[in-house]
Amino acid sequence: MLELDAKIPNNVDLSTDRKLQRALESWQPSFIDWWQDMGPEGFQQDNIYLRTAISVEPGGWANFDYVKMPDYRWGIFLAPPSRDTIGFGDNMGKAVWDAVPGDMRKELRRIIVTQADTEPASVEQQRLLGKTAPSLYDLRNLFQVNVEEGRHLWAMVYLLHSYFGRDGREEAEELLERRSGHADSPRILGAFNEPITNWLDFFCFTMFTDRDGKYQLAALAESAFDPLARTTQFMLTEEAHHLFVGETGIGRIIDRTTDLMQQDKNEDVRNLGGLPLDMVQRFINKWYSLSLDLFGGEDSSNAAAYFALGLKGRYKEQGGRYEDHVALEQHYTYDVVEGEKMAQREIPMRRAMNLVLRDAYVEDCERALRKWNSICKKKGIAFEFTLPSERFHRGQGVFSATHFDPSGNMLGNDVWQAKRDDYLPSEHDVAYVESLMVAEYEPGKIAGWIAEPKAGINRQAFDFPYVRFANQE
Amino acid sequence: MAPKKAPTNVNFETHPSGYKHLKLEVEGPVAKIIVDIQEDKGLWEGYELKLNSYDLGVDIELADAVNRLRFEHPEVSTVVISSGQDGVFSSGANIFMLGSATHGFKVNFCKFTNETRLSIEDASAHSDQKYIAAVNGVCSGGGYELALACDEIYLIDDRKSTVALPEVPYLGVLPGTGGLTRVTDKRKVRRDLADVFCTLAEGVKGKRAKKWGLVDEVYPSSRFDEAVEQKATELAGSGNANRKGVALDALEPTIEEDSVTYRHVTLAWGAQTRTATLDIHAAKEAIDVPGDKELDANWYPLRLFRELDDALLRLRFNHPEIGLVVLRTHGDPARVLEMDKLLFAHQDTWFVRETTHFIRRTLKRMDLCAMSFFALIEEDSAFVGSFLEFAFASDRAYMLDEDNVKVALSDMNMGLLPMSNGISRLATRLLDDDAALDALKTNREPFAALDAEDAGLITLAFDDLDWEDEIRLATEERASLSPDALTGMEASLRFAGPETLETKIFGRLSAWQNWIFQRPNAVGPKGALSLYGQPESPEFDWERT
């Protein structure tokens, strides 16, 4: 049994948990098969400088060493218990649940399966990116993100195995059977079925789409179902790095482009092999708007029920952001389209919980944009990145049937068609970005369209050999 | 809670050119009903028809489409019902609509949707039009019940689409459109698996749905449309190319403050408290069996029963205060008997047969109206043959004892127009008297009042001295009794004899669903239906009843 603990680091008493052992016995080999099939293509035999979580103690979650990805020790960790009572909703003040209450089974299962499905999905979406990494540092970061999304899958599967019986085991199997973008068995959420084929998309995805994940996890970290709360609390520590990869990735692109612009103020940065800022803005427009869709409907009875039951709270529900944790008295006003005009609608606060969570997300994105804009400002480049309006390019919700420009002005279909390529990446943009995607695997070297990071990983230098290729050893 | 709502002026006439929610496409022997419900086109303010959820407005279109296919496109032999929305087949009746509706409207709505689902099965059984449900996404509650009414259910396997009856776990009510009965009685799903299924809010996916018998076939997304197309073509064969359809024109009755007047039917109200009069006129001229070229929706028997059907629906929805309908017929009985002779003799002509089926369905609609019917058989009345069915379908038939007032049977009373219980109204009346029934089967003699009373054809006979008082007392007394008790009593007494899928569905709808719909656990301030989509959780009174 000690062997099992060594193979699967955990703090859930796996060595004595017969039920969990039985479930993992069949699931773990399937997971490895899935990883071999759908994990990063072409790098499974290479040694990657990765961090592995081996305990929840400070420092325990970030052990750095070289490891071949299929040998990565995906573990199961719950954050230490932090509270005894439910912090919001109709059950506030009652004891947290150590098991799934029968009457919450379907909602909890749905929440967990939907969250879990995004984890392997993103690995699948990103599986070809290694072939065009701009540096070993970035290649390593990609794989770190990938193995940790794999671990987040483990974290969710642990919940399904331990608390949802036979149904849970079946759901866990299906998580390995669905495939991102597959015609017959796609991933559950639309945004996770689009392949990510270039690094600008990747950075935007980790910046904007993974950030939705952060807020979903943060909402679940408040859950009355204690194992879910503690699992997601621990996942959040890892998620921070993924967001860092995205935010600094875009920052480094801006850094490089503005350098090029300073070199020759009259030259199109394209001729210098850089990514124009307005093109970066179009990618931001695309990924930000796609990510807003992931928060769900503006007026949601599910969201109300999840809050009422104590399944899903708000961002930092316990962190001092809110005083009223019942939220029955307040209302929320949001914009809607009525015919050709904009109007406002007021709904009870609980039904607007998707929007409340999204508001926290938007604030966070705005913070990142301020950072990027300060790069331009510092270099005297007059360009300001902006987040498009919540109305722009929406596939879900009240704005999905109408076209808007990024400032939120309503557009007719003709104008939209004519202007679309000003707002969103055009075919030419994508072709140009992809033309720059050439791998740079020399330690210390980097592609011409992105700047070096300010610091390396785990206090290593940028020229540290973050990946040791099998064929060079 | 906000006051409950119900539309007060529903129009049941529509046409594919005016559909808001459905598209009807016909190509050779295959027709498609594409359900694409417009969120913002509900019957009243306060709910959005999200996820292809429906309200009465949608169901009126569906009923129209199913009926039109039988008359206007008799060449069609397979009808595919699919959704025009991505990832959603239908999520059933709109819950916010139900939550905001009056109890009476909910009951009438469920009754109408049930009649429409049964009309799909009726088209399959009698008009050789088979229905396929092409379930291409979320299919829950009434959405799955619509699929259950079809002959075949094909479910997309995209790893997430399920079929579900989540009413019990989500809403604290029952599936209101025959779902429970069809799962066990039609699809023969084992009762214990059905128990699991009906409490599994998230529903059952692909392979298991097929294994449990909830669907017939499962196809992956990439092959779904093609597989459905292929199945539809196979099932359709060459269709009924020799049949030419008949356009159903609009009835366009004259609507006044106290009456609706059609060509052959008049419905009026207001003269007497809570009482309406329904007057039905026999054809004024001789009618013919139309040849293929002269097929016309104005053909008397079809026109008459289309009018009656529309009048009954208006009564139910637009006049909930009416408790008693006094029904009279007028005209020359000979014309009715001629009509019956034609109908009976030409059952091998599709148009005549289709009209007969329509007559049968309309009479069933009358059987299922939650109001008392008194037939008054007087001078100048024409209660013979198929018109005598109006008296049989009434709760009571009063007959004036005068020499010139007669009733008579025709071949149309002998089984071509069965009730929901599968047997004729005459057989249902004489359930325990085979000898009397046998004697009547061949008896085509006119009956005077006392003989008719003896033979069990009418309820009571009065002479002209008593008539006026007796009728006044009977109608006034009826209008004074508890409407709830009368509805229950009538529904219990009308359907003697065998149980069928149909009687079970309506019986259970009345007994269980309508009871649950009234209970605080569903519609009280803390009830599950009231609080669905609201920020609070329901609270139940746990005592079992």
Which residue from A106, A308, A349 is facing B202, i.e. has the nearest CB?
Answer: A106
Provide the angle, in degrees to the nearest 10, between the axes of the packed helices A427-436 and A277-293: 110
Query: B159 and A307: CB-CB below 8 Å?
Result: no
Mutation choice for B interface testing from A91, A185, A192 by most B CBs within 10 A: A185
Residue A292: CA atoms inside 13 Å, Cβ hemisphere, count? 25
What residue segments make up the domains of chain B, in order of their start?
A: 16-236, 254-494, 502-531
| Residue A351 touches partner B, C-beta closer than 8 Å | yes
| Residue A112 touches partner B, C-beta closer than 8 Å | no
Give the per-residue pLDDT at B322.
Answer: 95
Among candidate residues A38, A120, A46, A41, the one with its CA nearest the CA of residue A469: A46
Which residue from B200, B221, B535 is facing A351, i.e. has the nearest CB?
Answer: B535
The Cα of B3 is separated from the nearest Cα of chain A by a number of Å equal to: 19
DSSP-derived secondary structure letter, B293: G
| Residue B226 touches partner A, C-beta closer than 8 Å | no
Burial class of residue B341 in the structure, from the number of CB atoms within 10 Å of its CB (0-12 exposed, 13-18 middle, 19+ buried): middle
Chain B residues with CB under 8 Å of A343 CB are: none
Whether the predicted pLDDT of B161 surpasses 70: yes
Query: A304 and B535: CB-CB below 8 Å?
Result: yes
Q: What CATH superfamily is the domain B254-494?
A: 2-enoyl-CoA Hydratase; Chain A, domain 1 (3.90.226.10)
Chain A residues with CB under 8 Å of B537 CB are: 90, 305, 308-309
| Residue B38 touches partner A, C-beta closer than 8 Å | no
How many residues make up chain B in this entry? 545
Q: Do domains B16-236 and B254-494 have the same CATH topology?
A: yes
Give this prediction's pTM: 0.86
The Cα of A47 is separated from the nearest Cα of chain B by a number of Å equal to: 35
Q: What is the mean pLDDT of chain A?
A: 94
Query: B202 and A184: CB-CB below 8 Å?
Result: no
Stretches where chain A sits below pLDDT 50 are 1-2
Whether the predicted pLDDT of B279 surpasses 80: yes
pLDDT in tens, B393-410: 999 999 999 999 999 999
Question: How far is Cα B90 from Cα B83, in angstroms, rounded to an integer?
Answer: 7
- For the record, the structure tokens of A338 come out as 């009525």
DSSP-derived secondary structure letter, B357: H
Residue B537 identity: S
Chain A residues with CB under 8 Å of B159 CB are: 174, 177-178, 184-186
Among candidate residues A309, A349, A302, A307, the one with its CA nearest the CA of residue A91: A309
Beta-strand pair B265-272/B259-261: antiparallel
Question: Class of the A2-472 domain?
Answer: mainly alpha
Chain A residues with CB under 8 Å of B202 CB are: 106, 109-110
Chain A residues with CB under 8 Å of B534 CB are: 301, 304, 348, 351
Lowest model confidence (mean pLDDT) among A225-234, A300-309, B112-121, B257-266: A300-309
Question: How far is Cα A370 from Cα A326, in angstroms, rounded to an integer?
Answer: 34
Burial class of residue B104 in the structure, from the number of CB atoms within 10 Å of its CB (0-12 exposed, 13-18 middle, 19+ buried): middle
Among candidate residues B353, B320, B148, B150, the one with its CA nearest the CA of residue B235: B150
Chain A residues with CB under 8 Å of B200 CB are: 106
Question: How far is Cα A165 from Cα A175, in angstroms, rounded to an integer?
Answer: 16
Whether the predicted pLDDT of B213 surpasses 90: yes
Query: B534 and A348: CB-CB below 8 Å?
Result: yes
Give the per-residue pLDDT at A473.
Answer: 63
Rg of chain B, C-alpha, whole Å: 24
| Residue A82 touches partner B, C-beta closer than 8 Å | no
| Residue B536 touches partner A, C-beta closer than 8 Å | yes
Asked whether B327 and B390 are in contact (CB, 8 A), the reply is yes
Give the per-residue pLDDT at A1.
Answer: 46
**Residues B338-361, mean pLDDT to the nearest whole number:** 96
pLDDT in tens, B498-536: 999 999 999 998 888 888 988 999 999 999 988 887 777
Question: How far is Cα A257 from Cα A273, in angstroms, rounded to an integer?
Answer: 9
Question: How far is Cα B351 from Cα B302, in angstroms, rounded to an integer?
Answer: 10
Query: B159 and A309: CB-CB below 8 Å?
Result: no
Query: A186 and B158: CB-CB below 8 Å?
Result: yes
Chain A residues with CB under 8 Å of B220 CB are: 183-185
Chain A residues with CB under 8 Å of B223 CB are: 184
DSSP-derived secondary structure letter, B147: H
CA angle A401, A403, A406 (to 5 degrees): 135
Percent of chain B at pLDDT exceeding 90: 87
Chain B residues with CB under 8 Å of A181 CB are: none
Residue B83 parent element (H or E): strand B78-83
pLDDT in tens, A414-466: 999 999 999 999 999 999 999 999 999 999 999 999 999 999 999 999 999 99
Question: Class of the B16-236 domain?
Answer: alpha beta
Give the per-residue pLDDT at A134.
Answer: 97
Asked whether B310 and B352 are in contact (CB, 8 A), the reply is no
- B271: Cβ contacts below 8 Å, ≥ 6 apart: B258, B277
Give the per-residue pLDDT at B381.
Answer: 97
Total beta-carbon pairs less than 8 A apart between chain A and chain B? 52
Going A310 to A313 to A316 to A320, the CA torsion angle's sign is: negative
Give the per-residue pLDDT at B294.
Answer: 78
Which residue from B159, B160, B536 is facing A308, i.e. has the nearest CB?
Answer: B536
